[in-house]
Structure 1
Amino acid sequence: MTTYIIRSITEQDITFLWEMLFESIYTPEGQEPASRDIINNPSISKYVKDWGRDGDMGYIAVNDLGQSLGSITIRYFNKDNKGYGYVNDETPELGMAIRTEYRGRGIGTELLKTLLEQAKMEAINTLSLSVDPNNPAIKLYKRFGFKEVGMEGTSITMIVNL
């Protein structure tokens, strides 16, 4: 069993957020992962670039050795700068990734539970996300009440009402 804590993202975690941004790009089994340079694409880098702006919120799971295991974030986008899971200007978009070797251990569940509780306290009414239909994480999102509301390219857009 992995022992870890969940804490708010600090400025020192931004490098890890970039790493998790790359981890969040779903690669179907048997396919080569994208080049790490993909995170420099403006449509992807917008999820971390200038982290700490108004409305940004997130958490990191850290083990007892101080190693960061995964992250969860929400960030607001607008109609002129849409994210992949954009639904409207009032709904922040969720992003989450867990280091490959720590997946399937409940870390994503705890990160999502923590973020949803805080979002409710911040009076955020809905969250959205974008997920590949073949990504096993879709089961986690559905368990927490996310519902499919559309498709953007090859990914499903989901929302949850808080």
Structure 2
Amino acid sequence: MRYSVKTSSANETTTLGQKVGAVLRGTEVFKLKSDLGGGKTTFVKGLANGLGADETVQSPTFIISAQYHCERNLELHHYDFYRLQDLGIMQEQLDESLLSPSVVTVMEWGDSADTTGAKDLIEVTIAKDPVDENARQVTFEVPDVYEYIATTLEGKS
């Protein structure tokens, strides 16, 4: 299922992420696509808020990965593979995240990652508006198995 939502500010992008994060159950895998500065980490901050993360999300560009403990016995594992051409040992860490039933996995710049361990992948593309520099078009490709995310994006929850 494909859903597209326009946000007019960073706060709205965070709020969108928060709404999605509030319904997550663990095992979800997000692959975020956007240009540099496009709003990927802003969206993840919202996801973390919705999950009840115990700390504020920071961009993992230089540390590559970050883990956050959340409410409902969940964890958020946030990866940024922008600086890596070969994932190396990070692929092993990613594989562990993909197999854990209590982990929500988010990848920025994840095209180089092997995600065959993920049962279904949620792709989120964040595009800058050509006219309004603060606005974003956030497009979700949501597999049918995640009907609870689709319901949230449809505004029914």
TM-score (norm 2): 0.35
**Greater relative contact order structure (CA < 8 Å, 6+ sep):** 2
